[in-house]
Structure 1
Amino acid sequence: MEELLISKFNCRRCGHRDCISQEVSMSGTGVSKIFDIDYHHYLFVSCTRCGFVEVFNPDVLRGHKSGALGTVLDIIWG
């Protein structure tokens, strides 16, 4: 999925076609924040010319919610 986004990237700000991407995990609020459980995952794609960043939700792109394995591993190893 990440490779597909990179191959089709076209910056909405400057029209440049080159980008870099990074998957980012974030905690929510309440208990997940207290225990540092990162269960929100996003894909950040940045234009290498102007720095404009687009944020994508991988669950929406896939059409279904990811498995809980990453969340379980995050709980175990923090």
Structure 2
Amino acid sequence: MEQKQYVCAKCGNQGFESDQFQATGGNFAKIFDVQNKKFITISCTRCGYTELYKANSDSGWNILDFLMG
């Protein structure tokens, strides 16, 4: 698989940081505070421009998140 090098779309910098977060989606998830949407972020280390990518969510973790509330 070919690996591409990161280049910021705003300033052309090649340095980046990646992270992830989860968010709720839909009425059922909001009522029970279930974070069933997972995203990966890629942020430029120079200007802070950030891109979001939707990640596959594991249903087992969703159930665990619901139970632990």
Q: TM-score, normalized by length of structure 2?
A: 0.84
| Number of corresponding residues | 67
Q: Which has the higher helix share?
A: 1
Mark the runs of 5 or more structure 1 residues left unpaired by the alignment.
60-65
2:23 aligned residue (12, 23, 26): 26
Is 1:75 aligned to 2:66, yes or no? yes
Identity %: 30
How far apart in 1 are the matches of 2:6 and 2:67? 36
Larger-gyration structure (1/2): 2
Deviations 1:24-76 (A, max 9, x none): 100013121011000000001110100100011123xxxxxx43111111111
Q: CA RMSD in A?
A: 1.7
Q: TM-score, normalized by length of structure 1?
A: 0.75
Shift of 1:22: 1.1
What corresponds to 2:50 in structure 1? 53
